[in-house]
Every structure is written in C-alpha cells, then in structure tokens.
Amino acid sequence: MASVSSFAGPEELEDANHARTLMKELKWLYDSRLLVDVTIEVEPGRQGALFPCNRNVLAAASPYFKSMFTGGLHESTQPRVTIHDVDADSMAVIVDYCYTGKVTVTEANVQRLYAAANMLQLEYIRGACASFMTRRLDVTNCTQVLKFADAFDNPELKAEAQAFIARNFNQMSGGAGGRDLCELDLGQISEVLSLDILDVDCERKVCSVALQWIDANAPDQTDAALRVLRCVRWQLLTDRDRDAPAVQRCFALMGDDGDVPPTRPQMAKQRIGEKAKDMVLFFGRPNEPFMCYDPYADETFSMASPFINPALHHAKRSPAETFLACSTPENKLYLASHLSTHFWRYDPIGDRWQELTARPLRRVRSHIGYLGGHVYVLGGRDPASEARLKEVECYSVQRDQWMLVAPLPRPPGRMQVVSAGGRLHAVGRRRMLCYDPKRDQWLHGGSLRRGKLHGACVYREQIVCLCDVPVVRAYCPARGEWRRMGDVPVDSGALSYQLVPHGRKLLLLTLAKHRLLVHEYDPARDGWRDVAAVFGSSFGSLSLSARVYPACLGSGRGFVSEEDEDSGSSADWDFDGLTDADSDSGSSSSFSDENW
C-alpha cells in the first residue's frame, strides 16, 4: 500500500497539446518565411518552384532528407538544394505534409504525388495514394493502375488492380475494356489470364482476350503469342467452343509450335466465375456462419460471419446482436451491426469481411440502403433513450468516410429502404419519402395507405410492397402510379414474409417454424409458383440475394434437415425486435399527421 511519502520528490508532467502547438507554430514560421535555413528547388527555371524550409522539419519527416542533411553530404550545408524528378505541385503537397501531417490527394495529382513520395521515402503519403487509387478503381482506370503498381513495385496495389480486373473480366473482355487490356505488357496480361479468380462464365472469353492482345501487340512474335495462349485453360472448352473460329485460329497458331491443346477433357482448375451464381443469403446469429441458398439447385453453402473471423474479433458477440445488409449493382455486400457501429465489406474471394470506418451513430432497429456509390443508414432508435432518430448516415465508398446528410422530416417507425429512379426511398405502411442526393433533400412520394408493410424491394424498376397479406402493390416512380399485383400464397404458420429480387426474378420467402418456402413471381400470369421448400433452423431474419462464388464458400450441410421438426417457438426468431405496436403506432412516426 502506498504512503504519503510516495508524493515526495520530483514530478514529471507532460503537456498533451505540446506537439500540436509546436507543429502549428512551425507551420506559421514556414508560411511567414521566418527562420528558414534551406530552399528546396524543383523544376529549375519554373516560377514558383522554390520552397524555403527548415532542415530539421524536413529531416524529421523524411528519411530521404534526414540522410541528405545529417549524412555529411554536400547538400547539408548548401542554402539551395535542387530535387530532380519531382514536380512543383507535388512538392507543395509534400512540404505542407511535413509541417502539418495533412495531405490532399486528388485524381489529378495521385500518381505524380505517389512517385514523389516514393522517392522521398514518405511512407504515409505513399500509402495514402495507394489507398486512394484502390478505392477509386473502375473499369476505365484499372489497367492503368495495374501498370503503375507494376512500375513502382507495389504488390498490394497490383493485387488490388488484378482482383478488380478479375471481378469485372466479363465487362472488360469486350469493347473499350478489351482495348485497355491490350495495353498491358506481356508479363501483365499473362498474369491476368492465369488468375483462378477470373469471373468468366466460359473459357472462350479468355481465349478471345488472348487473341485481341496478340493482334494488338505480337502479331508476328511467335514466342509472345504462345506464352499468352498457354494461359488459356483449353481443357475447359466445350466441343462447341472448340469449333468457334477464334479458337480454331488459336489452335493454328499453337499447332505450328507443336503445342496443340488436348482434345480430351483433362484435369484443369476452373475459374471461380464459371460456377458463380445468384444465391439467397440469410444473415442470422453473429457467432455462426451465414446461410447461402440456391433454391433452384437446392444447394446450400456457408458464408463467414465477421464475428467468427479471428483476424477481426476474438470475443464472441451477444446472441441478440443482429445485422443490416445491402448489396450493390456490382454485387458488393455491406454489413452493419445493430448493437454497435461496426461496418464491413465482404471479400468474396477470401470469404471474409473487411472492417471499414465505423458509423458515427449508435442505433438499433435501423435500416440500410445503397444508391450511387453511397450506403445510407436511417431510422431506428437511440439505444440509450429509445427515442426514434431522424438523422441519416451516409457512407462514401470511394472515400471510406461517413457524414450526416439531410435528416428525415419526422422520426419514422417501421419502414423499408430501397433505391429506384436515382433516389433513395423510405417506404412506410402509409407514406413514402424519397431522398434526392443531388439536392440533399427529402421529398414526398406515393402514399401506400395500408394497414401493414411486410416488405419492399425493387423489381423491374418498380417498388414492390407486400402489404396486408396477401396484397402486393407496385409503385412506378417515373409515373407516380400504383398498381396491384397478384396476391401472394398465404401460409397459416408463417412467421414472416420477405420479397427478394433474385437476378431478374422476384422471390417470396415465407418463413415458418424451421421451414422456408420459396415462390417465384410469374409476370406472364401475374401469379406465384412454387420453387422450393427447405427445412432447418438457421435462416435468420434478414435476407437478400447476391452473386457469389460457391468455390470460395464453406459447406452448408449443417443448415438444413431432412424433414420438418414441428418444435420450437417463434421466440427463437429475432425480427429486428419489432412488434405490431412498435411498428404501427405512436405519433412520433407520423408525417403530416398520418402514421407511416
């Protein structure tokens, strides 16, 4: 036990604001051109390319400058030092970083800034630029980023660019995308065409890209042509593919070298895209894998939960924790937690969840939607006060940042969030609001005016709402009109109904005790047909459809049973913690004096 004598002797105190204040004052001295002792010159002869600085600041921030100014080099005593191969704009950003720790990265400066930071050994800026390029990969720039990463020997950025090309290979293999692939050098195109993770539905497309590259780069170079053609997995071609003119041309090229592809199917690893399919995903308990189900093939697989990934979380989560999930048109999956601010994006190749920037607000029983490169979280309640929330959180996929956008006019009750017509729609049982991201404003939508709302989704550019079972209504945002669709099948034992877009189809999921029924909407007869029935107990209360790679998923044998086990209780299922009283009553959920 300590005694009073422990207070005797000297005290060591620390000013928590000292470092920040010191940097602020050094920046003021730099801006005022006071106490500077060296001038950095770039692009000799260009006006504005001189940067009066402090040697100690540059040396502290950059190993390159530290070696220059402390290693006894000639530059350590010179009043002016010329830096070659760095442009003035990049040096301005770098000097500002040395004094403030802040860096501004744009599409216009990112590659030049990366090159300068790479030379000056500024690891933070180098990493920031690489992250910027990774987050902004698209089909128009991915090949350029791959070439850039290869030139600067950045394996992480290179892997990201290759993975993006692989995921979008179907789109990249034709038109402008095919021309972009032809700009890769021999080594780069060979690596891409050799990837197991190419998302292609047939090997013929790989063969076509190989021929495009040969025609553009090596029409008369036999060795280069053969190296590219060997990346094609000829064993995966069907007999019909082998008869195609493009494939026959490849055979002719390879035959001259005596390297004719085998005519009999042999062992060859399939590209993951050849088995890719749309599946219904069920997000259940946090400590268990998620169920992935193909109702047409009656196949079940398992997807990892973020809370059973040891790289992210070592402790098990509360069984009461539930998830929010949404998918994008590019089949990217985003997942949020109801009981925390955790937020993830799914890596379909590694079957793991990458944790992203945490959400700014804690809320329970909320809703999620995606629109135009942004994820929105809205509705729900404050976990401490139970007050309904008007605030709307918006996540930028490009920036990995959250911000608050225009709030809802009134705190909503239970609702569904969907995207249609370039707007985000919050659909309640009586009212619909739509968010215009260009104006940052919520507007009135169509009035549903039903007693209940079991679910809503977008199908053929219309918002389809499952109202009082069996009533289904569809809203056309372009015309502002409602129409009635064919009634859904009624199940007396149903615990919940969900509408799920599944590729170009619309599915109805009816969840009963340990049983899932799947129906598909038939627009020709405006009715619903049976698809599948599956028995089990791990369906979860949230589902959506997305394109996944079964080759990358786990076994799903543990999810289903052979027959209906007529046991258990509806209390086993957590439907967002909502009751009829919670979702349908209360003046705080009203808009213009009417309940949602």
pLDDT tens for the chain, 596 residues long, are 566 666 778 888 899 999 999 999 999 999 999 999 999 999 877 666 899 999 999 999 999 999 999 988 888 889 999 999 999 999 999 999 999 999 999 999 999 999 999 999 999 999 999 999 999 999 999 999 999 999 999 999 999 999 999 999 998 987 777 889 999 999 999 999 999 999 999 898 999 999 999 999 988 788 898 999 999 999 898 888 888 887 888 888 777 554 555 544 456 789 999 999 999 999 988 888 999 999 999 999 999 999 875 554 444 555 557 899 999 999 999 999 988 899 999 999 999 999 999 999 999 889 999 999 999 999 999 999 999 999 999 999 999 999 999 999 988 778 899 999 999 999 988 889 999 999 999 998 888 877 788 999 999 999 999 988 999 999 999 998 999 999 999 998 898 999 999 999 999 999 988 899 999 999 999 999 999 999 886 787 789 999 999 999 999 888 877 655 444 433 333 333 333 333 333 322 333 334 45
Q: Are residues 144 and 131 in the same domain?
A: no
Q: Is residue 474 part of a domain?
A: yes
Same domain? 398 vs 503: yes
Same domain? For 142 and 253 the reply is yes
- CATH number for the domain including 228? 1.25.40
Angle (CA) 565-569-575 rounded to 5° is: 115
Q: Is residue 310 part of a domain?
A: yes
Contacts of residue 497, Cβ cutoff 8 Å, sequence gap at least 6 = 454, 455, 466, 469, 488, 508, 509, 510, 511
Distance, in Å, from the CA atom of 321 to the CA atom of 364, rounded to the nearest integer, reads 10
Counting other chains too, the contacts that 311-316 makes at CB distance below 8 Å and 24 or more residues apart are 311/352, 312/353, 312/355, 316/286, 316/287
Residue 557 lies in a domain: yes
DSSP string, 258-318: T-PPPSS----PPPGGGG-EEEEEEE--TTSPEEEEETTTTEEEEE--GGG-TTT--SPPP
Query: Are residues 299 and 243 both part of a single domain?
Result: no
On whether residue 14 sits in a domain, the answer given is: no
- Tokens for 420, please give them: 């249609």
**Residue 195, domain extent:** 137-263
Q: Which domain CATH number covers 461?
A: 2.120.10.80
Q: What is the reported pLDDT for 188?
A: 98
Evaluate whether residue 587 is within a structural domain: yes
Do 306 and 173 belong together in one domain? no
Indicate whether 162 and 185 sit together in one domain.
yes
- The verdict on residue 109 lying in a domain is yes
pLDDT for res 589? 31
Same domain flag for 127 and 163: no
Helices marked H in 403-465: none
CA distances from 69 to 42, 73, 78, 95, 421 (A): 17, 7, 10, 16, 59
pLDDT tens digit string along 396-415? 999 999 999 999 998 877 88
What CATH number corresponds to the domain at position 101?
Answer: 3.30.710.10
Q: Are 552 and 559 in contact (CB under 8 A)?
A: no
Are residues 208 and 294 both part of a single domain? no
The total of structural domains in the chain comes to 3
The verdict on residue 416 lying in a domain is yes
User: What residues are paired with 347 via a beta bridge?
Assistant: 352
Q: Evaluate whether residue 271 is within a structural domain.
A: no
Is-contact 495 542, C-beta < 8 A? no
Q: Both 387 and 531 in a single domain?
A: yes
Are 88 and 46 spatial neighbours (Cβ–Cβ below 8 Å)? yes
Q: Which of 115, 136, 157 is the C-terminal boundary of a domain?
A: 136
Residues 231 and 332 in one domain: no
Collapsing DSSP to helix, strand or coil, 39 comes out as strand
Our separate counts of H helices and E strands in the chain read 16, 31
Within 8 A by CB and 6+ apart from 134, the residues are 157, 160
DSSP three-state, residue 30: helix
**Of 136, 162, 179, which closes a domain?**
136
Please state, as a whole number, how many other Cβ atoms lie within 10 Å of the Cβ of residue 206: 24
Regarding whether 157 and 50 lie in a shared domain, the answer is no
How far is it, in rounded angstroms, from Cα 180 to Cα 184? 7
Residue where a domain terminates, one of 263, 290, 317: 263
Q: Are residues 533 and 472 in the same domain?
A: yes
| Residue range 72-86, pLDDT digits in tens | 888 888 999 999 999
| Inter-CA distances, 47 with 44, 357, 401, 473, 504, Å | 8, 41, 37, 67, 59
CB 132 within 8 A of CB 160: no
